[in-house]
Amino acid sequence: MFESFFHMTKLLVLFVFVRWSVLLIQPILQEKTKERYKLKKLLIGLITLIVIGVAGLKIADIVVMGGDSYYVQVTTDGTKQNETDSQGQTYTKYQYQLPGYDQNGEEKSMDFSTVKERPLRKEAFLKLTWNKNKGVTSFEEVQEKEVPKKAQEKLLEAN
C-alpha cells in the first residue's frame, strides 16, 4: 500500500512541475529577446529542479524500499488471519516466520505476510528484500538454481 502511495506521489510532483512550467512559459514566449534570455534561465532552472526532484524521489525509494536480499523456502502454510480494512472490506492475510539466508549463508529470521486468497506454495523458494527500518519490503518466487550456493545449502540443511 505504501509503495503505491509513494509512486502516486512521484507522479503528482512531476505533474505539478510540468503544469507550473507551462503556465510560466506561455506569457514569456510572446515577449521579445530580452525576455527570451530570461526564459532560457527559467527553463534551465526548471529542468535542474525537475532532475533534482526525480533523483531525490529515486533515492528515497531506494532507502525506503531497498535493502539486502535473503532467501527462504516456504515450509508452512503460514498463520491465516482474516482482517477488515478501513472501508469495511474483509481480506485474508497469511503471516510467515521463516529462516532466511543471505548470499554468504548468514541466517536472519524473516517475518512477512501476504494478502492472498490462499497460502504460498509449499517448497517454493522466495527472494526477500529486507530493510533494517521496515523489515521485509518485497518478495518474489525464484527457481532453486537462482538461490546462491551458500544460502541453498543452509536452506536444504534446515528442511
Give the C-alpha separation, 138 to 75, whole Å.
19
Give the C-alpha separation, 10 to 38, whole Å.
28
pLDDT band for position 1 (cuts 50, 70, 90): very low
Per the CB < 8 A criterion, the answer to whether 35 and 46 are in contact is: no
Q: How many CB atoms lie within 10 A of CB 146?
A: 12
pTM over 0.75: no
Q: Which amino acid is residue 6, in one-letter code?
A: F
Give the domain 68-158 fold.
OB fold (Dihydrolipoamide Acetyltransferase, E2P) (2.40.50)
Query: Tens of pLDDT along 31-67?
Result: 666 677 777 888 888 888 888 988 888 887 777 667 8
Q: For residue 66, with 0-12 CB atoms within 10 Å meaning exposed, 13-18 middle and 19 or more buried, which class applies?
A: middle
CA-wise closest residue to 123 among 135, 100, 141, 137 = 141
Give the C-alpha separation, 86 to 88, whole Å.
6
Per the CB < 8 A criterion, the answer to whether 20 and 50 are in contact is: no
For range 113-124, the mean pLDDT: 87
Query: Tens of pLDDT along 73-91?
Result: 999 888 998 888 889 889 9
**What mean pLDDT value characterizes the chain?**
82
β-pairing verdict for 125-131 and 135-142: antiparallel
Helix, strand, coil % (nearest 5) of the chain? 45, 30, 25
